[in-house]
């Protein structure tokens, strides 16, 4: 049976090769999304080893949090932008799982990740999720959860307001746009939990701030924040 499976997989890879998202070369059997060479080119921040990192500073004084970190730098035409664009607009769900799992592996070396109780992705409004077919942040959360052995749940925090795109808005406009956008579905179930909120890319942080403040309406919760990317000026 194993020999037949290997032969089948070999034929599939021969006629439908899996290509690296970075260099378009065929991936080896053990590689996912990126080949080893391209994976090493992801511009990782290593922020999780620096308490006062740039991600943390973007939330300082705005929302109480325990830890905040980002996996890699998000730049125009960079490798991470390419992966996130494919995830959000080209149905490349595997990019989300891959980025989440790679991020989680880097977090395993921290002294705080074991204290996380649950991973909650930034939710999409049901209309937008229905149109896209999935929430990219939930795919990231799932990839993280599988590595960290933590549950990922996208039903505890809901997006109840179909907000306008944040892309061209100023910081203050983004905050106003997010006002009343989220609602906790089960406050009792979250009471006393250390929640890791995850998202794809951090810009001003207005969306994550709104999520965190709403989650903190549950009793005695602690909030940490993780984003795959962080924009750089």
Q: What is the pLDDT of residues 151-210, one digit of tens each?
A: 999 999 999 887 656 565 565 666 666 678 899 999 999 999 999 999 999 999 999 999
pLDDT of residue 181: 86
Judgement on whether residues 162 and 226 belong to the same structural domain of the protein: yes
Instruction: Flag whether pLDDT at 43 surpasses 70.
Output: yes
In this prediction, residues 80-107 reach a mean pLDDT of 98
CA–CA gap between residue 54 and residue 68 (Å, rounded): 9
Judgement on whether residues 92 and 174 belong to the same structural domain of the protein: yes
pTM for the predicted model, two decimal places: 0.89
**Residue 97 CB contacts under 8 Å (≥ 6 apart), including other chains:** 139, 140, 142, 143, 146
Within 10 angstroms of residue 79's Cβ, the number of other Cβ atoms is 20
* CATH number for 160: 3.40.50.2020
Judgement on whether residues 172 and 196 belong to the same structural domain of the protein: yes
Q: By C-alpha distance, which of 162, 198, 201 is closest to 73?
A: 201
Judgement on whether residues 111 and 144 belong to the same structural domain of the protein: yes
pLDDT of residue 93: 98
pLDDT of residue 176: 65
Judgement on whether residues 137 and 176 belong to the same structural domain of the protein: yes
Query: Where residue 124 falls among pLDDT bands split at 50, 70, 90?
Result: very high
Judgement on whether residues 6 and 49 belong to the same structural domain of the protein: no
In this prediction, residues 53-62 reach a mean pLDDT of 96
Which stretches of the chain are DSSP H helices? Answer: 2-15, 36-39, 54-59, 79-89, 93-107, 126-132, 136-148, 171-178, 187-190, 206-215
In this prediction, residues 120-135 reach a mean pLDDT of 95
Rg (CA), the chain: 18
Judgement on whether residues 73 and 177 belong to the same structural domain of the protein: yes
Query: Where residue 10 falls among pLDDT bands split at 50, 70, 90?
Result: low
Evaluate whether 230 touches 204 at the Cβ level (below 8 Å). Answer: no
pLDDT of residue 11: 47
Judgement on whether residues 137 and 36 belong to the same structural domain of the protein: no
Judgement on whether residues 89 and 143 belong to the same structural domain of the protein: yes
Mean pLDDT over each residue of the chain, to the nearest integer: 90
In this prediction, residues 19-26 reach a mean pLDDT of 96
CA–CA gap between residue 136 and residue 122 (Å, rounded): 9
pLDDT of residue 179: 73
Distance of CA 229 to the CA centre of its chain: 8
Judgement on whether residues 186 and 173 belong to the same structural domain of the protein: yes
pLDDT of residue 83: 98
Q: Which domain holds residue 7?
A: 1-41
Overall domain count for the chain: 2
**Placement of tokens 């992705």 in the chain:** 121
Judgement on whether residues 138 and 157 belong to the same structural domain of the protein: yes
Judgement on whether residues 134 and 31 belong to the same structural domain of the protein: no
CA–CA gap between residue 223 and residue 2 (Å, rounded): 45
What does the buried/exposed string (b/e) look like for 212-233 if buried means 16 or more CB atoms within 10 Å of the residue's CB?
Answer: bebbbebeebbbbbbbbbbbee
């Amino acid at each position: 049976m194993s020999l037949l499976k290997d032969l089948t997989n070999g034929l599939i890879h021969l006629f439908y090769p899996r290509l690296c998202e970075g260099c378009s070369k065929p991936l080896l059997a053990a590689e996912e999304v990126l080949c080893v060479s391209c994976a090493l080119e992801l511009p990782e921040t290593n922020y999780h080893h620096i308490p006062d990192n740039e991600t943390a500073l973007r939330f300082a004084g705005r929302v109480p949090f325990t830890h905040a970190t980002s996996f890699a730098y998000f730049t125009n035409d960079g490798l991470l932008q390419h992966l996130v664009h494919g995830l959000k607009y080209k149905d490349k769900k595997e990019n989300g799982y891959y980025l989440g799992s790679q991020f989680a592996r880097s977090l395993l070396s921290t002294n705080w990740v074991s204290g996380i109780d649950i991973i909650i992705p930034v939710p999409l409004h049901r209309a937008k999720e229905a149109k896209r077919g999935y929430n990219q942040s939930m795919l990231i959360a799932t990839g993280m959860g599988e590595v960290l052995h933590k549950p990922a749940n996208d039903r505890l925090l809901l997006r109840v307001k179909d907000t306008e795109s944040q892309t061209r808005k100023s910081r203050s406009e983004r905050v106003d746009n997010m006002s009343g956008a989220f609602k906790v579905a089960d406050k009792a179930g979250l009471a006393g939990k250390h929640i890791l909120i995850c998202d794809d890319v951090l810009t001003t942080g207005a969306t994550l701030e709104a999520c965190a403040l709403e989650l903190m309406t549950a009793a005695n919760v602690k909030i940490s924040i993780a984003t795959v990317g962080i924009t750089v000026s």
